[in-house]
Amino acid sequence: MKMTVAGVLMVAMAGPAIADRDVHAGLNYRSDLGTHQKRVELGGRWNAFEAAVVLDPQMATDSQSDNDVTAMWWFKPSRFAAFAGWRNTSYRLLGETVFHEKVLGGVLAKLPSVGTDRVRLIVGLEVAAEIVRHGDAITTDWLDTMSADELVNLSLFVRAEFTVDL
C-alpha cells in the first residue's frame, strides 16, 4: 500500500513535459481482437496534455464501428504518458444497432525519432473495461450483471503519426 501511495504522489508531483504544441494524424494498430485492428487517429498536444479521437474507417465495409476519445498526460522527459478515455463500439444485430461502452486506461511510450521529429512512433498498453451494453436488439446490461470474463480486456497498440507544430 505504501508503494502505491508513493507512486501516486510521484506521478502527481511530476511537472509538465517540455513545451510541445502540435496537431497530429496517423494510424493506430492494435492487438485487441474485440475492435478493428487498424484505425485512424487525430489529435493535438498542448504542453503535457494531449487529446485525440480514434476513428474506425472500416465501418463503411462491415457496419461495425470502434471509436475512442482519449486524454493523455506526458511526464518528463516527454517520453512516457498515462491516458484515460472512452470507447463506443456499435454493430448491427438482427437489423438493429447494438452499442458497447468501455472505459479505457493505460500507458504510452514514445520511441526515439529516426531522422525527423515530425514522424512519431508511440507504443502503448491499454486496459478496456466494459461499462454497459445497450441498443434496440438487446436489453441494457450494466457492469454489475455481466460476467467477469466479458468485462476487461488488455491490448497492445502502436501509433504512427505525422505532426505539425503550432
Q: What's the average pLDDT block by block, 10 residues per block, for the chain (166 residues)? A: 45 50 96 86 96 93 92 91 96 88 97 89 95 86 70 92 94
Total structural domains within the chain: 1
Question: What count of other Cβ atoms lies within 10 Å of the Cβ of residue 153?
Answer: 16
The grid coordinates listed for 19 are 513545451
Tell me what pLDDT residue 9 has. 40
Looking at residue 4, its pLDDT comes to 44
**37 exposure class (CB count in 10 Å sphere: 0-12, 13-18, 19+):** middle
Determine phi and psi for 5, rounding to 5 degrees.
-60, -45
| Cβ atoms of 36 and 63 closer than 8 Å | no
CATH of the domain at 78: 2.40.160
What is the residue range of 139's domain? 2-165
pLDDT at 28: 96
Grid cell of 45 as nine digits = 498536444
